[in-house]
Amino acid sequence: MQIIPAIDIIGGKCVRLTQGDYGQKKEYHDNPVEMAKRFEGVGIQRLHLVDLDGAKAKTIINKEVLRNIAKATSLKIDFGGGVQSDADIETAFHLGAFQVTGGSIAVKNPDLFDSWVEKYGGDRVILGADAKDKKIAISGWQETTGLDLIDFIKDYHAKGVSYVICTDVAKDGLLQGPSIDLYKEILEEISGIKLIASGGVSEIKDLEKLEAVGVFGVIVGKAYYEGRITLAQLAEFSK
């Protein structure tokens, strides 16, 4: 199982939001590059980098952060936030992203998302599937659609998508444990998908449970920044 630390950016600094609420922002570090180097230094290979300014502006804003982390480390960066057009995704890859995540765009403009999968490949374009009560949530989780989560993932997997980041909105940023049963159900229903669990991780036992379920990776954010999980513990999982 891959440990994938999250670095969320507002104004060039590392922050975390609670349940996607910009009003519940906490700043953790003013140098994302140093943070990324810290993760790489213990053997972690992947990074989940989110441009929260970009998500709001609907275009990439924190370009220099992406460029600088890509230059300073060999981390495989999965980049999201503000990727809304062909120009945006080209920019993200040009700046050094290894993968790009599309969430709301896969709901609002499926033809565009499909064209990205076709152009860049199902291994480079990640499907962001945020869910509330097993229904897809979009637009910073302010809007819940009528789309069934598992059907949504199935459809895109059939079109060639290999990686899916699934966030249970009800869990994100609350440190109350991940949605183990939900991930188990997805993996039982859809064979061959590389599922990345996101949201709710609060302690090292959560990582053990997720590994037992068989997810490809787990995104760790607040639990690390709040000191619930140490860098040494993450290093153990990354061996």
Residues with a catalytic annotation lie at 8, 130
Residue among 151, 83, 160, 158 at smallest CA distance from 122? 160
8 phi/psi in degrees, rounded to 5: -100, 135
Residue among 239, 21, 39 at smallest CA distance from 140? 21
- Give me the helices (H) in 26-159, please: 32-41, 52-57, 63-72, 86-95, 104-108, 110-120, 149-158
| Strand-pair category, 13-18 with 2-10 | antiparallel
How many C-beta atoms lie closer than 10 Å to residue 96's C-beta? 18
